Amino acid sequence: MERDEFTLVRDMLRAFATRFRTGSADDVKAQTRADAQRALDDLGLTGLRRTSPPAATVQECALLAEEHGRQPLTTSLLGTALLAPELLRLLDDGERADPVHGDRPTVALAGDLRFPDPDAVGLVAWDCDGADTALFVHAEGRVTEHELGAPAPTADLLRGVRRASAEGRPVGRLTPGAHRSWQAYALVVVASELVGAARSFVGQSVDYARERQQYGQPIGSFQAVQHQLADATVLVEACTSAARYAAWCLDSETPDRALTAARVAKAEVNSSAVEAVYAGMQVFGGIAQTWEHVAHLYLRRVLVGATALATTADLLTVLAAPEATR
């Protein structure tokens, strides 16, 4: 997209997020979720990466994922608008065998929400509000389409997750390069949303520290609080840089280099985003532990997101291996 076009898309998403943000866990209801998802679908973001060449760069999609993460939203931007269209685009460049039956697919993950290994059992459709089927990428690059089932339990109250059928219809197979690109793209998009959530929550914590008073002084004037927030800000900047560099690599480098950068970024975000949000929880104090406060929605999102696709241990193990074996 041209810069003006991207600015328009980002501003539309920002206005949408302001309108449909969740004020508390009690606002997470079926009707409000459905209304918000319809409004997001009307923005037409599924076309950003569906064509070849794509209308939007990976860097632009990553920034939109950040924007979506900044507000507590129940909408499925990642699964239905960013990840599934990119997977279909990569399939078109590979071995597309059969058409996808669903009009609006999302992605399926292994039952533990991680990239599958050959022995993966139990599938869940992830970030699936508004979707009618789910696409699953097997460990060897084969892609199948699965029916959606009953809701699956998840600690992230904002994310729609459903069970997916065990048997799937064959759709095609990703080439080795496309498979690496797909994994890198998925890692970058998920990491970027976590970056947005951590940045927003730390910012809210800073604002709260300016207003909340103890002993007649704003708590932000106390060194202990200042140091916590300064450290949290550094953590957010570190994971932001890593995620944005990985997005640039997908636009500019080979799939191998992009996947390495994406693994580094997700490993950094898994650690830094969680630690930054923990610091913000400490600044908010007791009110952040209540059901009515929005803090636990951010905490749940980053805790679950830190295990989605690949944990830090998964990623560091792969990154430490000789390059020829990755």
Residues 77-133 have pLDDT tens digits of 999 999 999 999 999 865 666 677 778 999 999 999 998 876 666 899 999 999 999
Q: Could you give the maximum distance between any two Cα atoms of the chain, in Å?
A: 69
Phi, psi of 286 (to 5 degrees): -60, -30
Q: 159 with 77: CB under 8 angstroms?
A: no
Chain mean pLDDT for the chain? 93
What are the beta bridge partners of residue 210? none
**Domain ranges, ordered by start, for the chain:** 178-325
> Residue 199 region, left (φ>0) first, then alpha (ψ -120 to 50), else beta?
alpha
pLDDT at 59: 97
For residues 129-139, one letter each, b for 16 or more C-beta atoms within 10 angstroms of the residue's C-beta and e for the rest, the string is bbbebbbbbbe
Say if residue 84 is exposed, middle or buried (CB neighbours under 10 Å; 0-12, 13-18, 19+). buried
Q: Is the pLDDT confidence value at 299 over 70?
A: yes
pLDDT at 173: 93
Query: What SS3 state is found at 125?
Result: strand
In order of 1, 177, 270, the CA distances from 16 in angstroms are: 20, 35, 27
User: Domain 178-325 carries which CATH code?
Assistant: 1.20.140.10
Alpha helices in the chain (DSSP H): 3-20, 30-41, 58-70, 77, 84-92, 176-211, 223-252, 255-284, 295-305, 312-320
Mean pLDDT of 197-218: 95
pLDDT at 20: 97
Q: 168 with 136: CB under 8 angstroms?
A: yes
> In the numeric block, which tokens belong to residue 270?
């898994």
> Strands 217-218 and 213-214, how do they pair?
antiparallel
pLDDT per residue over 22-39, tens digit each? 999 999 999 999 999 999
Euclidean distance between CA atoms 137 and 204, whole angstroms:
37
Q: Is the pLDDT confidence value at 76 over 60?
A: yes
Euclidean distance between CA atoms 135 and 141, whole angstroms:
12
Q: Which of 321, 312, 236, 241 is nearest to 280 (CA)?
A: 236
pLDDT per residue over 145-161, tens digit each? 999 999 999 999 999 99
